[in-house]
Amino acid sequence: MPPFMTPGPAAQSDLELLDAWRAGDQRAGNELFNRHFDSICRFFANKAPAEVDDLIQRTFLACIEGRDRYRGDASFRGYLFGVARNVLRRYYRDKRYHDARFDPLIASVHDFGPGPSLLIADKREQELLLQALRRLPMDHQITLELYYWENMSGSELATVLEIPEGTVRGRIRRAKQLLETALAELAESPSQLESTVANLEGWARSLREKALVKPDPA
């Protein structure tokens, strides 16, 4: 640090912002949402591209309505993505079944034909990976996308998926196996499959930085 430069104020943590928001500080609430907006947008972009704006709004509205029920026993980020997962589940349950039969460990986004992802893929391997992710059972897709794109810890993934933390590694392992199977079915050639699988983590993480394509206004 150059001499005589005074360090700026440290960024407030999610919990500090949440406490301030609960106390009536709307600025803190806005900052909390702005901090996580891109991640929540990315969460829906490869799962329900035509409804991203509406699902983001539903997620943050549910967070507002439930903010006093959050006790801080898990990270706020894990709590927020858990809300987003439940919003997504309700959306697809209502879209197809209109009852409680929708099972995110069986049904995939691909089953619903949601249209192209809003994530831009400039490499064939990235496009292949996006397609394969959408063919996984929804909770397995969520697991891998949060693991690769949001660098979520085991405890955060457990919160989002509502499973014991000790089962998270097994969930990730199973999701990777299903992903490799989907990639094998979609790849146009053995060399394309090999180049994708050989650097699976690199291709997956590279998608995180891709710009989001905004849907055309109706």
Class of domain 14-209: mainly alpha
CB of 117 closer than 8 Å to CB of 49: yes
What pLDDT is stored for residue 143 in this prediction? Answer: 98
User: In this structure, what DSSP letter does residue 29 have?
Assistant: H
- Does residue 40 carry a pLDDT above 60? yes
Flag whether pLDDT at 218 surpasses 60. no
Residues 76-120: tens digit of each pLDDT = 999 999 999 999 999 988 876 555 567 888 989 888 876 667 777
pLDDT for 97? 56
The pTM of the full predicted model, rounded to 2 decimals, is: 0.86
As a whole number of angstroms, the longest Cα–Cα distance in the chain is 65
Q: What is the pLDDT of residue 71?
A: 80
Residues 108/137, Cβ–Cβ less than 8 Å: yes
pLDDT at 8 over 70: no
Cβ atoms of 64 and 44 within 8 Å: the answer is no
Contact 50, 215 (CB under 8 A): yes
Q: What value does the mean pLDDT take over residues 210-215? A: 53
Mean per-residue pLDDT, 153-174: 97
Domain map (residue ranges) of the chain? 14-209
pLDDT 10s digits, 130-144: 999 999 999 999 999
Structure confidence at residue 212 as a pLDDT band (50, 70, 90): low
At residue 50, the pLDDT reads 87
Distance CA 101, CA 142 (A): 19
